Amino acid sequence: MLFNVPFLSLLALASAVPLADFSRALNNLDARAISATQTDLDNFRFFVQYASAAYCNSENAPGAPVVCAASACKTVEANRAVTVASVEGPKSGLGALVAVDHVRRAIVLTVRGSANVRNWLTNLQFTFSSCSDLVANCKVHNGFGDAWAEIRPTVLDAVRASRAANPTYSVITTGHSLGGAVATIAAAYLRRVENIPVDIYSFGSPRVGNDHFANFVTAQAGAEFRLTHGADPVSRLPPILFGYRHTSPEYWLNGGSSSTVDHALNNLRVCEGIANIGCNGGTLGLDIDAHGYYLADVSACNPKNSPTARQADISDAELEQRLNAWVHQDVEWVEEHTA
């Protein structure tokens, strides 16, 4: 999914917050009421396979099996998951798949991530669109909202048909990268419009909407399993200072290298709050590999979805400086508003 909008120009902000204040903010963490379990980690390992499958199954015909090259969804294949519907947005290029997994007794909507994460980071815009049909004063990122609107009719019809045939099955939405953002919006509407307690499994999702959206989704029936990894830059955007918030809680994989996929439970920690900076939100740098590896090489079944292809108009150093400046400002904002 590509959003070809010029990058929002900003003042040079690299020294906005002293590093001493930044470190203090990271170390001043609230007590956490939620802890990660082995079941959580196992479920992340399973549903990331569906997030992977979106990269190579979003043009499936109804009834087609869900299969992946590069062994990207071996358990899903073993479960003989079957396609109910697939769809691709004509403007956004967003691809999505609704499948039924009779072994897991689940109906799964999986949304494909970006074909070029680095260019998305370079061209990022921060404009909102309304989602007041969910809750008053609700706003989501304009690009994510438009992408959901394109696939919404097909997704709703497919989920309704699947539930009619399998009324006891759970409903899951999942996606990697920008797909995780749209999967979060999809779950909000499935919960609100269809009264389904959808569970969300997102991997490296950016912030989706404002505080009204984030609080509304977090409070809905159904669980939010939002996984971040190391210093993944996508999960730190759009910035808190521009009014964006995450759903809560955050599950943060931290340990090993950026491409580590064999994580143990002690590498998974939880941070709560829609504007927390205690996990991924307080990290620095331009670690694209951390975005590509979430317990697996997420886009492995479709090598065309390279996260590292680059535009010539901005260097890695310049982009990293911009990303770091936003983190510093986010830390400053959180400190000022939680003192």
Domains and CATH numbers, the chain: 19-338 (3.40.50.1820)
Residue 101 pLDDT exceeds 80? yes
Q: Report the candidate in 172, 165, 178, 164 with the shortest Cα–Cα distance to residue 200.
A: 172
Local structure of residue 256 (DSSP, 8 states): S
Rounded to the nearest 10 degrees, the angle between the axes of helix 211-219 and helix 178-194 is 60
Residue 296: what pLDDT? 97
In whole angstroms, give the CA distance from residue 267 to residue 80.
Answer: 31
Residue 92: what pLDDT? 87
Q: Name the CA dihedral angle for 45, 151, 290, 213, rounded to a multiple of 10 degrees.
A: -90
* Least confident stretch, 86-90, 201-205, 301-305: 301-305
Residue 316: what pLDDT? 85
* Least confident stretch, 17-26, 155-164, 236-245: 17-26
Query: What share of the chain has pLDDT > 90, as a percent?
Result: 73
Residue 118: what pLDDT? 74
> Residue 88, SS3?
strand
Q: What is the pTM of this model?
A: 0.88
Local structure of residue 205 (DSSP, 8 states): P
Local structure of residue 221 (DSSP, 8 states): S
User: pLDDT of 198-215, one tens digit each?
Assistant: 999 999 999 999 999 999
Residue 11 pLDDT exceeds 70? no
Q: Report the candidate in 58, 156, 185 with the shortest Cα–Cα distance to residue 113.
A: 58
Q: Report the candidate in 182, 237, 177 with the shortest Cα–Cα distance to residue 204.
A: 177
Cis check: omega of the bond before 249, within 30 degrees of 0? yes
Element (H, E) at 176: strand 170-176
Vertex 189, ends 169 and 45: CA angle to 5°? Answer: 50
Residue 122: what pLDDT? 64
- The more confidently predicted of residues 274 and 29 is 274
Phi, psi of 184 (to 5 degrees): -70, -45
In whole angstroms, give the CA distance from residue 100 to residue 166.
Answer: 9
HEC sequence for 4-55: CCCCCCCCCCCCCCCHHHHHHHHHCCCCCCCCCCHHHHHHHHHHHHHHHHHH
- The more confidently predicted of residues 293 and 311 is 293
In whole angstroms, give the CA distance from residue 294 to residue 47.
Answer: 11
In whole angstroms, give the CA distance from residue 78 to residue 66.
Answer: 10
Catalytic residues, which ones? 177, 232, 291
Tell me the average pLDDT across 55-72.
97
Tell me the average pLDDT across 310-330.
79
- The more confidently predicted of residues 319 and 258 is 258
* Least confident stretch, 10-19, 32-41, 50-59, 105-114: 10-19
Local structure of residue 60 (DSSP, 8 states): P
Total residues found in the chain within this entry: 339
- The answer to whether the beta carbons of residues 254 and 283 sit under 8 Å apart is no
Residue 339: what pLDDT? 60
Highest mean pLDDT among 124-128, 195-199, 298-302, 334-338: 195-199
Residue 103 pLDDT exceeds 70? yes
Residue 336: what pLDDT? 84
Within 13 Å of residue 97, how many CA atoms lie on the same side as its CB? 29
User: pLDDT of 264-280, one tens digit each?
Assistant: 999 999 999 999 999 99
Instruction: Give me the residue label for tokens 């992977």.
Output: 52
Residue 315: what pLDDT? 84
Highest mean pLDDT among 3-7, 12-16, 280-284: 280-284
